[in-house]
Amino acid sequence: MTNKLNSNNLTKSEEDYLKALFQLLIESDSSKVGNNQLAEYLKVSPASTNNMIKKLKAKAYVVSEKYGKLDLTEEGRSIAVRLIRKHRLWETFLCNYLNFTWDEVHEVAEQLEHVKSRKLINELDRFMDYPKKDPHGELIPGADGDYSVLPKVMLSSLSEGDVCKLEAVNDGSVNFLKYVSEIGLVLSSEIKVLEIREFDKSIRIEFNNVVETVTRKFADNVFVKKIT
């Protein structure tokens, strides 16, 4: 019970900053997030970020001391989670009903997540029968604002001979997502680690009776559940 009626009057920019800060806080667990880091993430100048952070502090969505690290208030966090909920629900809709591919959804969902209507998103959720995961395998936060993450095991952390199931992929790069689709990997694919080459840490994997060699960088962005 954080807010009265949630009269969400934020601009698109304010929403973008809150969501970005939330993502950074999640990713860099415990290591604090700074102004320039946020600027780089959003591809804007540190000055712009500094300016926006001032506004968000005034609105009590962000806290930080001068020259100190950034953090979200409960209210700021709650707004960010709702944005992520919207983003992932839209991605799910685009993939499951409108024939979008993994690499196409992000840009459009980025626009759709700023549409303001409580009813819209809750009805969309109902229409799709309350999906648990988005197309990349990430958990979709519920209407209650709960945010949780799947324990992430990188494909690159496995050993030769291990067998695993594809659980999620990092959705940060369009080129990566295209690549994943192109070689034929989909969620739930069973992957066997055939060999890890010492020289460059590249990995030979087998899935769906196909053998591929992927780089360490690729394997860092593929999240799996170990089977054996």
Partner DNA sequence: TAAATAAGTTAGCCATGACTAACAAATTAA
Partner DNA sequence: TTAATTTGTTAGTCATGGCTAACTTATTTA
Q: Does position 60 bind a copy of itself by CB under 8 A?
A: no
Q: Could you tell me how many residues of this chain bind DNA (CB under 7 A)?
A: 26
- Give the one entry of a copy of itself, DNA, none that residue 66 binds, where binding means its C-beta sits below a cut-off of 5 to 8 angstroms depending on kind: DNA
- Give the one entry of DNA, a copy of itself, none that residue 46 binds, where binding means its C-beta sits below a cut-off of 5 to 8 angstroms depending on kind: DNA
Contact with a copy of itself (CB under 8 A) among 33, 70, 84, 94:
94
Q: Which is nearer to a copy of itself, 124 or 163 (CB)?
A: 124
Q: Does position 58 bind DNA by CB under 7 A?
A: no
- State the DSSP string of 16-69: HHHHHHHHHHHHS-SS-B-HHHHHHHHTS-HHHHHHHHHHHHHTTSEE--TTS-
Q: Which of the stretches 6-14, 124-132, 141-149, 199-207 binds DNA when contact is defined by CB under 7 A?
A: 6-14
Pick from 159, 165, 163, 168: nearest CA to 196: 159
Judge whether 18 and 38 are in contact, CB under 8 Å.
Answer: no
Shortest Å distance, C-beta 120 to a copy of itself: 6
Shortest Å distance, C-beta 5 to a copy of itself: 17
Bridge partners of 168, per DSSP, are 223
Q: Does position 59 bind DNA by CB under 7 A?
A: no
Q: Does position 92 bind DNA by CB under 7 A?
A: no
Judge whether 20 and 77 are in contact, CB under 8 Å.
Answer: no
Q: Quote the tokens at residue 109.
A: 């969902």
- State the DSSP string of 93-123: HHHHHS---HHHHHHHHHHHTT---HHHHHH
Cα separation of 206 and 224, whole Å?
A: 14
Residues in contact with a copy of itself by the rule CB under 8 A: 94, 97-100, 104, 107-108, 111-112, 115-117, 119-120, 123-124, 127
Residues in contact with DNA by the rule CB under 7 A: 11-14, 16, 34-37, 43-48, 50-55, 64, 66-69
